[in-house]
Amino acid sequence: KVRAEILFKEYPAIEHAYNHVLDFRKIYECKSKSTARNNFEQWIEKTQNMDVKEFNIAARSIEYHLDNILKLF
């Protein structure tokens, strides 16, 4: 925890990316498809605004496969 605090203080972009990943993981705790769809769409939009290549690749893939992903809910 101490190391993370030091790292995030020195590199705020890493903390931002870490929190974005946690936001993504929380989506899978949704109980309904409609809530999950809404959360995925919000995450994708937020990702596009971040302009991080790796996240954008993941967001496009999720967007393309969203209907299949939602079958898990």
Q: Is the confidence at residue 6, as pLDDT, over 90?
A: yes
Token pair for 66: 């969203």
pTM of structure: 0.84
Q: Is 47 exposed, middle or buried (0-12, 13-18, 19+ CB in 10 A)?
A: buried
Helix axes 53-70, 33-50, angle to 10 degrees: 170
Token pair for 34: 């409609």
Query: What pLDDT, on a 0 to 100 scale, did the predictor assign at position 13?
Result: 92
pLDDT tens string 24-70: 999 999 999 999 999 999 999 999 999 888 999 999 999 999 999 99
pLDDT tens string 8-25: 999 999 999 999 999 999
Query: What pLDDT, on a 0 to 100 scale, did the predictor assign at position 17?
Result: 94
CA 58 to each of CA 4, 62, 69: distance values in angstroms, whole numbers, following the listed order: 24, 6, 13
